[in-house]
Each structure stands twice: as C-alpha cells, then as structure tokens.
Amino acid sequence: TYEKVWLIAALVLIVGFIATITYGSVALGITMVGDQEETIEPSELNDDERFGEPRVEQVGENEYEAYVIAQTFTFYPDPIEVPADSEVTFYVTSRDVIHSFSVAGTNINTMVIPGEVSKMTVEFDEPDEYGVVCNEYCGDFHHTMEGLLHVV
Ligand code: CUA
C-alpha cells in the first residue's frame, strides 16, 4: 500500500540522517557520547569544588573531566587542553547570561545557561586544534567570545 511506501521512505530518511551525523563526527575524530543537565547557582561557582577552579582533570586512565565557565566574553580555562585518545566529560555553566559552548567544525554545540550545568562526553582520537565559539547573542562583544580547544 501507499502507507507502507511512505513509512519506508521516512525510515530511510531517518537512517540517512543518523548516518550523516555519525559520519560527520567520526570523520573528525570526535564522538559525542551523551549529554544531560544539572543545576548550580552562579553565586555558588567560586566555592564549588569543580567550578571554583575551571580546569581539565584526569579521572581515569584515559578519562578526563573538564570544568568550563562561560562569562562575557570569555571561556575559562582558555585554552582547554585535552589529550588525544581520551574520553572527556565537559561540565559547562555560565556565570552571567546565556552563552553557548560550540566547538567549530564539530557537533559539540550546547547552550550554556546560568544556573544549569551542561554535561557532554566526547571522545578525542587525534591531536588537533579547534576554535570554541559562542553562538548565543550575549552582549556587545558576543562576536569576540571565543577560545581554543587543544587536543595534544
Ligand atoms: Cu557569549 Cu555570545
């Protein structure tokens, strides 16, 4: 029947989308594993175990955690340095207004909302250098808000 044809066409489209996304990330040597959110008030950041000192920390043999703060018009730390052949879980929050944490040329692109922690796990295969940019309008110098991600 026609319904069946449409159903199959829709499925083919969906599979095609997923394949494109997967290919895009694998080709770059970066794989998003997952993401979810938790909360923290901007006023608590300075005393927080993780965000009091934005940094990358080793938590396992090839596992790292990166605690990142976005604040007009900078990302901390900058540069963010992670090893190749590693799995890095990013925890990103904002100290002031809404920003984004977007790694140019990859599918890493998350909104960064004050009061919330964006969490995403990424696998880095090969050494490279990426630009980190803010995709949410956050003020007069939004367009200058950028940082570096070094995979070493
Ligand atoms: Cu931060 Cu735009």
Phi, psi of 91 (to 5 degrees): -120, 115
134 lines ligand 1 (CB under 6 A): yes
Tokens linked to 24: 């895009």
Which pLDDT does position 122 carry in this prediction?
92
| 145 CA: nearest ligand 1 atom | 1
Residue 151 CB less than 6 A away from ligand 1: no
Please, what CATH class does the domain formed by 2-151 belong to?
Answer: mainly beta
Residue of the nearest CA to atom 1 in ligand 1?
Answer: 99
Atom of ligand 1 nearest to the CA of 138: 2
ipTM confidence: 0.99
- pTM (two decimals): 0.78
Neighbours of 92 (CB within 10 A): 25
User: What is the average pLDDT score of the chain?
Assistant: 89
Q: How many residues are there in the chain?
A: 152
* Ligand 1 atom closest to 137 (CA): 2
- Scored b (16 or more CB within 10 A) or e, 115-137 reads ebbbbbbbbbeeebebebbbbbe
**Ligand 1 neighbour 98 (Cβ under 6 A):** no
How do the domains of the chain map onto residue ranges? Answer: 2-151
Per-residue pLDDT reduced to its tens digit, 24-53: 555 455 666 555 568 899 999 999 999 999
Residue 27: the pLDDT is 47
| pLDDT in the model for residue 127 | 96
